Structure 1
Amino acid sequence: MTTTDAVPEYPMTRAEGCPFDPPPQLTQLQREAPLVKVGIFGKPAWMVTRYADQRQLLPDKRISADVFRPDFPGATREPLPESERRSVGFVVMDDPEHARLRRMVSAPFAIKRVEAMRPRIQGIADRLIDHLLDGPRPVDLVTAFALPMGLQVICELLGVPYEDRDSFERDSNQLANTSLPMEVRVQARIRIGKYLDKLVGDKLARPGDDLLSGLTAQIRAGELTRWDAAGIGVLLLSAGHETASNMIALSTLALLENPDQLKLLRDSDDPAVVAGAVEELLRYLTINHHSRRRQVIEDFEYDGQLLKAGEGILFPSDIANRDPSVFEEPDRLDLTRDASRHITFSVGPHACLGQPLARVELQVVFSTLYRRIPTLRRAVPLDELSFKQDVATYGVHSLPVTW
């Protein structure tokens, strides 16, 4: 496979004025074939465009998630240095090491454990909304609510003191920004890692009832080093608050642009309606907009194409979640549809570990924010908002609102 002028370069740009929709070029590629050739940083790769094919291929053992393989189609032009192997977390590893490390942190994300957190998550949301209502208007919903909401919840689960946020919040944002030079992002990861390594050391001496304290047993048993545990902490802290915060802000904007759908959510006290709305917003927005990236590790044929070992393979879940063969009128936000089949959290061994927490957090926010501030509205025109095209997790940089 070679790159030619006819091969489109990925990632692609969203259409102006359509901040919630995938790039139109992606939609066109989906119409053409389930498996197409694209370029990524000047190198060729395969793209899986359709829902059914992504569900089939994502769990395939002939495809690797190990970002340290040569020519892996990473999220940046510069590959991760080998020195980062132990600090990036299990998400970019293959089994059996991926499964071994994932099992160590799976219990706190179990549905029953997360449900038990619901009252604490509700308390965080209520306190932040109290602060909003007592403060000036207009206010940036991102900095005043979405970011602290996402960060406080993941800090609660991990056992990270929220008052230490100045020590890691800026570094976490740099880590997520794929447009920054690799060295800047690596140094940000190292700084967060050092902070969490010290915190893990404190928990070895005085363990609590939190995820990081739970890892101390594996450290004492020799199954993890302190730095391994800190690396897991970096992954969960950064991913946990980035995804939740962006989803809260972008969902709010999408609902404000669809007032009939917002009314359905705001006027209902049925938990099932709220839960269904969360699934539809997860489908419709799909904030992981730079695709899941993998590499073929064994030659095999799919859909009449020979996929060769070493080739990159991309899974853009944003267009899979807009596949018209699965979701009727996929470009329409419809909170009454059954969107539970979406693959925003991926499928297979690498399905998102934190999805139960994300669901509960979003259910709490969406059942609280719009009912407590029923006249919430944008304070600036839509075309004045700036969107996160340059990071792996899509969202809006700021969202000035009033009521």
Structure 2
Amino acid sequence: MSEDRPGDQTDVRMDDDLALRPEREAVVGSAGGREPRGDGRRDKREGRWRGERRRGERAMVPEADFRSYYGLPVLNEPTWHDYDIAGYLFLGGLAGASSILGEAAELTGRPLLARAGKVGALCAIGGSFYALIHDLGKPARFVNMLRVFKVTSPMSVGTWILSAYGPQAGLAAVTAVTGLFPRLGRAASAGAGLTGAAVATYTAVLVADTAVPLWHDGHRELPLLFAGSAMAAAGGLGLLAAPLAEAGPARGTALLGTALEAAAALRMERRLGPVAEPLKQGKGRLARLGEVLSAAGALLGATAGRRSRGAAVVAGAALLAGSACTRFGVFHAGVASANDPAYTVEPQRARLAARERQENGVRE
């Protein structure tokens, strides 16, 4: 029997002869078949990156197919109530865009459309405040957030945006209905129009700042998606409340908002890939229904809605329903992506692999 060298792998044969099997030879540093750690440190003894395999070395253990322990979610499910938070997202967007539309109508000499936008903004922001406070549980919790202003916190910034917008929207609506203090009303209307854009879109930053995969990974497109949805809703409200002669800006806003919403949704689905699957499953499909309703409402309003009051009302209702479905669909899809560990683990693996490939390319 021959004498073995340390580290050699042998195999016992029928003739009692020990033979080396090179294909089963373990290589130092290749356990688990892990790729380079990319920590920037080199092994002084061998002159290579720590954890990096030599050329020609093969992994001894296949990569583990980890999802989560016992199939449980990696992330905790958001504790937000769907009707409160999804309603808060929808009503806030409607309010902000309606203030912008109301100010534009006033500047172009359309008083009835301007009044509809201002009153609609006040009603929507009131409902949005109610939904938010109902989810918080106590009104004092909203007031407590005004004690500090933290630029890095979307919730803190959003609280101050709402606090600045709400009184101006209320004053603009009251003066538009009563006719009192017209100069003060015009100033409040202009202020509400300026802050309305932030009210309509800051909620996208708020949800994207969470660890929910769909919302977090879609941080680039969500502000545009929410802005388009808000514009479509405001246009729908204008078609419902304003006469045909003054509804031109509402029709244009609905068309532009619907196009922006559809483009942002398409871009997000293509860029996120598998992470966007919840938008096509379960309650997430409400977002797709919202796109269809918004497109149908915008087209109907731009065609038959120009001549028929009935068609304009149907188009406005479809636009409002489509915007609400979009917000509820995005909310439910986000919750579903947090519940499935695959939407958390697989994107992390892809990012790590891309980072390792980039680091390997730099080192080579």
Q: TM-score range by the shorter chain?
A: under 0.3
Tell me the TM-score normalised to structure 2 length: 0.23
More helix by share: 2
The structure whose Rg is larger is 2
TM-score normalised according to structure 1 size: 0.21
Between Structure 1 and Structure 2, which shows a larger proportion of strand residues? 1
